[in-house]
Each structure stands twice: as structure tokens, then as C-alpha cells.
Chains A and B, each alone.
Chain A
């Protein structure tokens, strides 16, 4: 009943690796599931949650949050549906990630899951890193982006990631001590990275205190 969390620098291939690990282990890959479940619990559309995630940490999100009160949103929606703001999103995010982890046999992509499940007894935390140039190349090759677009996207996503974590009071998200395994995609193929991650789950102990 293990849980694997994958934190990654954007463009390092985290989503691809997550899917590969899940497939190999016969686990669920929780990415869109998280969006669906937040949407269901907050009683809003999945599109709203998805858009919210994309904008989270951006200037637009901060501006909208400061301009639009919950009561106004409530009135607009005539009390028939829920709404989502940063607090509500975070409340449901931590709850749903904790819930998914307790269900077990799942690979969870990002969203601060390495912090939320920091002391989960069956969780393995993996960090995927790569050089900026390689990540740009990955986006060009796997998502058909032009060089310029890939540079812009990776730069923007790096900034967004930093902003998101800053909001959560976290700066150490790339610190190896948070993780069981740090995989450098500049030195490993996705296939080798997948096998290393699976080997960790097959043979490892998430919390090795008993070995000391």
C-alpha cells in the first residue's frame, strides 16, 4: 500500500515518469484525479479548478483574490454552487492528497505532496531535476513546442513553482533531504529513472528508523 510522490522541475519529465512508475507498479496515477476530487468536494467545475491551478501563484490570481470577495462570488452564483479561492483550494488539496495516500497504491504528482505526506509511513518521495536547457529540449520533443515557446514555458513554470511555494512558506522544495530519491534526468534516461523508483518501492522502507 505504498504511496509515491513525484516533485519535479518543470520539463524534467515528471508527468511522463509518474505514469511510467504507476503503470509498472500497477498503481493509480493521481494527477487529474486530484482536480476532479477537489472540484467535486468544492462543488465547482473541474475546469475552474484546473484554471485556478494554472493561475495560482500568478499576478492574475493575486489580483482576482484581492478584488473579488467570496460574498460577491456567492451572489453571482446565486448560492447554488460552491466557489473556490486560495484557502478553499488548499484545504481540499491537503485533505484529498491525504485521503488518496491513505487509499494507497498511488503515484501523486507534485502539488506539495512531499510536504503533506512528509511523515506518512508508506510514502516515498522522489525529486526529479534537470538542467534548464534539457528541460526546454524535453518540452520541444515531447510536446511539439518551438524553441522559443519551450524557453518561455519552462521559465514561466519555474517562476510559478517558486511563487506557489513561497505562498506556502516553503523555499526548500529542491532540498534533497526532503526526499528518498533524487533523480537527475541529465544523467538518467526515463527508463532507468523509472526502474530506480520502482526498486525503491519494491525493496525500501519509507521510514528506516528500525534499521538504526
Chain B
């Protein structure tokens, strides 16, 4: 069984796209439809990589990212953000949440702005997982 990649996105079509890319490159996909479900699956499945959307109802990708990167047990799991939100907007949001009393979090390993080509996504995953 290949290394595990958790895909967190509320859009089923995007999840299907990501699952296909992950599987075709020999990794094992796991799916979650929002940040809350994503956190549960991270804890349960201990994935080798998380592909994370930002805008999702209930717990957003912003919060899940902070949960992951401030957890001793989970902070070393690499995260690739896949979002329609610009990287600078995401980083400014994270900085503001730190300013409002949250812990400082590092930048994500890779930030890809949607739409993403399958080759780009595959290369990104391979670059992190080998």
C-alpha cells in the first residue's frame, strides 16, 4: 500500500480529481469533506501528506491548518494548500489570527492556486513524498 494522502475539500468534483491524481501516482487517497472531518481523519489515519482546501463550510482550511501546525503530534505532516484563494490572502489571514492571540504557524510546504493541472499536482506530491 502506497503512502497515504488525505484530501480535504468540500467539492466532490475536486476530491474526485485529487483522488485520481493520487491513485494514478501510486499513493493511497483518503477523503474528508471539511476541516472537522479532516482533523478526525488526520488523527485516525496519520497520513503522509494533506492536500487542503481553504474555503469550506463548518471548520475551514484556515482552522485545520492551524490545528495541524500547532499540534506537537501532527505538525510534521506536510500540507499542500489547494485553493482558489490567493497565497498572500491566506498568509495575511494566518498572520492576523496570530495577531489576535493565536500561535504563530509556518507557511505551508506548497501553496497551489486553483485551477491546478494534474501534472503539477502529481509533481508536487512526488516532490514531497518521493
Which A residues contact B (CB, under 8 angstroms)? 41-43, 70, 74, 81-83, 87-88, 90-92, 94-95, 97-99, 101-102, 112, 115-120, 168-170
| Most chain B CB neighbours (cut-off 10 Å) among A81, A83, A99 | A99
B92 adjacent to A91 (CB under 8 Å): no
Beyond A91-B63, A102-B86, A116-B92, is A82–B97 a contact (Cβ under 8 Å)?
Answer: no
Interface string of B3-46 (1 = CB under 8 A from A): 00000000000000000000000000000000010000000000
Closest Cβ of chain A to B109, distance in Å, is 20
Known: A97-B96, A102-B89. 5 other contacts (CB 8 A): A42-B57, A42-B58, A43-B57, A91-B93, A95-B90
B92 adjacent to A88 (CB under 8 Å): no
Instruction: Please tell me which one of the listed residues B57, B59, B88, B96 contacts residue A115 in the complex, with CB atoms under 8 A apart.
Output: B96
Closest Cβ of chain B to A9, distance in Å, is 21
Beyond A90-B97, A170-B100, is A95–B62 a contact (Cβ under 8 Å)?
Answer: yes
Instruction: Please tell me which one of the listed residues B54, B99, B101 contacts residue A118 in the complex, with CB atoms under 8 A apart.
Output: B99
For the complex, give the distance between the alpha carbons of A70 and B58 in Å. 9
A91 adjacent to B62 (CB under 8 Å): yes
B99 adjacent to A98 (CB under 8 Å): no
Instruction: Please tell me which one of the listed residues B36, B90, B101 contacts residue A169 in the complex, with CB atoms under 8 A apart.
Output: B101
A92 adjacent to B60 (CB under 8 Å): yes
A115 adjacent to B100 (CB under 8 Å): yes
B96 adjacent to A98 (CB under 8 Å): yes
Interface of chain B: mostly helix, strand, loop or mixed = helix
Instruction: Please tell me which one of the listed residues B60, B86, B99 contacts residue A88 in the complex, with CB atoms under 8 A apart.
Output: B60
Closest Cβ of chain B to A107, distance in Å, is 18
Beyond A82-B58, A83-B58, is A88–B63 a contact (Cβ under 8 Å)?
Answer: yes
- B residues near A119, Cβ cutoff 8 Å: 95
Shortest beta-carbon contacts, A-B, top 8: A82-B57, A43-B57, A169-B101, A94-B96, A116-B96, A98-B92, A168-B100, A95-B93
Beyond A87-B63, A168-B100, A169-B100, is A99–B89 a contact (Cβ under 8 Å)?
Answer: yes
B62 adjacent to A112 (CB under 8 Å): no
- A residues near B74, Cβ cutoff 8 Å: none
Beyond A94-B97, A168-B100, A169-B101, is A88–B59 a contact (Cβ under 8 Å)?
Answer: yes
Interface string of B84-111 (1 = CB under 8 A from A): 0110111011011101110000000000
Closest Cβ of chain A to B40, distance in Å, is 12
- B residues near A87, Cβ cutoff 8 Å: 63
For the complex, give the distance between the alpha carbons of A101 and B88 in Å. 11
For the complex, give the distance between the alpha carbons of A168 and B59 in Å. 19
Beyond A95-B54, A95-B85, A102-B88, is A41–B60 a contact (Cβ under 8 Å)?
Answer: yes
B89 adjacent to A95 (CB under 8 Å): yes
Q: Is B77 an interface residue (CB 8 A)?
A: no
A98 adjacent to B93 (CB under 8 Å): yes
Closest Cβ of chain B to A75, distance in Å, is 13
- A residues near B96, Cβ cutoff 8 Å: 94, 97-98, 112, 115-116
For the complex, give the distance between the alpha carbons of A168 and B101 in Å. 6
